[in-house]
Amino acid sequence: MQLPDVPEEQAIATVHRAMALGINHYETARGYGSSEEILGRALRTFDRSSFILTTKITPKHYQNYRGCIEESLTRLQVDYLDNFDIHGINNEEQVEWVFKKGGALEAVQQAMSEGLIRHVGFSSHGQLEIILKVIETGEFESVNLHYYYFNQRNLPAVRRAGELDMGVLIISPTDKGGRLHRPPQYLRDLTAPYHPITINHRFLLSHPEVTTVTVGAAQPDEFAPHLKALEADGPLTEEEQEIIARLDRQYEKLGNTFCTLCHQCLPCPEGINIPEVLRLRNLAIAFDMVEFGRYRYKMFENTDHWFGGRKAVYCTKCNDCLPRCPEKLDIPALLMEAHKMLYREEGKRKWSD
Ligand code: SF4
Ligand code: SF4
């Protein structure tokens, strides 16, 4: 869990409610502010064998990775971690920090040999190609990635991890998966009688490869739409399939401006993440998910490799990408439209068309 800015008592009450509901896997990270400490305080009254704990540390700390692991154990008030993820293997530089001699993986393997860590996985916010490359190393037992109804780009990684019998944990399906805790009314109507959170969870859990979805509740009373997803199991029911088909049909609203997210337009010499900008445009038009689009769009250039790429405003209309687009989209024009729709920050560069 990444704790948002909530009072500690509320965070602890939320964890205690989760335990009472039978939720037994807690996931945090060194980089999530005071999350490890608060989670440690929340869980210390429970028997250690009654919960599974995952924490994550970015490989940039590889020179003192062992020290960081020990700090996490101290903060979490435990003697061992059930699972440990090398956090955010997002680009080639981080791949190097993980696998080099004296790198992060070596420190994890040493900690495993001493019983401090029981299982090792990795998380990634990077491109599909990086995720597949790391999966294929065979060094990890699980992968922690972005995959949602509203972003299915990483399906090949989910499938490949399943073939290799790896665990697949879905990062933030509610918030990063579409800000589904605050859905637009239009989306709510489309998924009725279920909450969009429930449908997204059911979509994910209908994949046999998906082993864990995270909940991300910030309050003790936020669990209902998550738990609702557990009332069914396995493949989507007929009713759920109809809802997914209804969602799929919304993309028709984009007509011949629909971006299929094939990524063939990349690379852009200006570093614009064309498919991600156009995905946000797709969602804003198809599902009225404008607020989600704004929330993600402002992250470009502000979150380094965690959400790579620059804003659409930097398009020079060089047209390099145009011949590579199988849909023959007018990419500069669509980027301009997306920027106007999604850009809301003050004092930054605006389009000057
Ligand atoms: S036209 Fe714009 S988006 Fe396409 S490659 Fe050139 S700068 Fe990048
Ligand atoms: S090549 Fe065209 S359809 Fe494919 S991601 Fe780029 S803009 Fe979208």
Residue closest by Cα to atom 6 of ligand 1: 318
Rounded Cα distance, 166 and 143, in Å: 7
Is 12 among the domain residues? yes
> Per DSSP, what are the bridge partners of residue 4?
none
Query: What would the DSSP string read from start to end of 144-170?
Result: EE--BTTB-TTHHHHHHHHHTT-EEEE
Nearest alpha carbon to residue 225 among 256, 192, 198, 263:
198
Task: Say if CB 320 and CB 269 are below 8 A apart.
Answer: yes
Task: Say if CB 56 and CB 28 are below 8 A apart.
Answer: yes
Helices (H), strands (E): how many in the chain?
14, 7
Residue 266 CA: nearest ligand 2 atom is 6
For residue 213, the CA-to-ligand 2 centroid distance in Å is: 29
Per-residue pLDDT tens listing for the chain (353 residues): 444 567 899 999 999 999 999 999 999 999 999 999 999 999 999 999 999 999 999 999 999 999 999 999 999 999 999 999 999 999 999 999 999 999 999 999 999 999 999 999 999 999 999 999 999 999 999 999 999 999 999 999 999 999 999 999 999 999 999 999 999 999 999 999 999 999 999 999 999 999 999 998 889 999 999 999 999 999 999 999 999 999 999 999 999 999 999 999 999 999 999 999 999 999 999 999 999 999 999 888 765 666 567 889 999 999 999 999 999 999 999 999 999 999 986 544 443 33
Is 33 among the domain residues? yes
199 and 146 together in one domain:
yes
Residue that finishes a domain, picked among 243, 275, 299 = 243
Rounded Cα distance, 261 and 275, in Å: 5
For residue 60, the CA-to-ligand 1 centroid distance in Å is: 31
142 and 237 together in one domain:
yes
Residue that finishes a domain, picked among 184, 216, 243 = 243
Domain carrying residue 327: 258-342
Number of domains composing the chain: 2
Q: Is 266 in the pocket of ligand 2 (CB under 6 A)?
A: no
Phi, psi (5° rounding) for residue 152? -105, 15
276 and 166 together in one domain:
no
Is 1 among the domain residues? no
Task: Say if CB 102 and CB 108 are below 8 A apart.
Answer: no
Rounded Cα distance, 282 and 335, in Å: 11
Q: Is 299 in the pocket of ligand 2 (CB under 6 A)?
A: no
For residue 332, the CA-to-ligand 2 centroid distance in Å is: 12
Is 332 among the domain residues? yes
Is 317 among the domain residues? yes
Cα–Cα distances in Å, from 130 out to 12, 37, 91, 127, 135? 36, 31, 7, 5, 9
Residue closest by Cα to atom 7 of ligand 1: 315
Is 351 among the domain residues? no
Q: Is 42 in the pocket of ligand 2 (CB under 6 A)?
A: no
35 and 165 together in one domain:
yes
Please write down the HEC assignment for all residues of 231-271. Answer: HCCCCCCHHHHHHHHHHHHHHHHHHHHCCCCCCCCCCCCCC
278 and 226 together in one domain:
no
Is 3 among the domain residues? no
For residue 323, the CA-to-ligand 1 centroid distance in Å is: 11
- Pocket-forming residues, ligand 1, beta carbon under 6 Å: 268-270, 272, 274, 315-321, 331-332, 335
274 and 303 together in one domain:
yes
Structure tokens at 121: 């996985």
Residue that finishes a domain, picked among 193, 211, 243 = 243
Is 253 among the domain residues? no
Q: Is the pTM of this model over 0.75?
A: yes
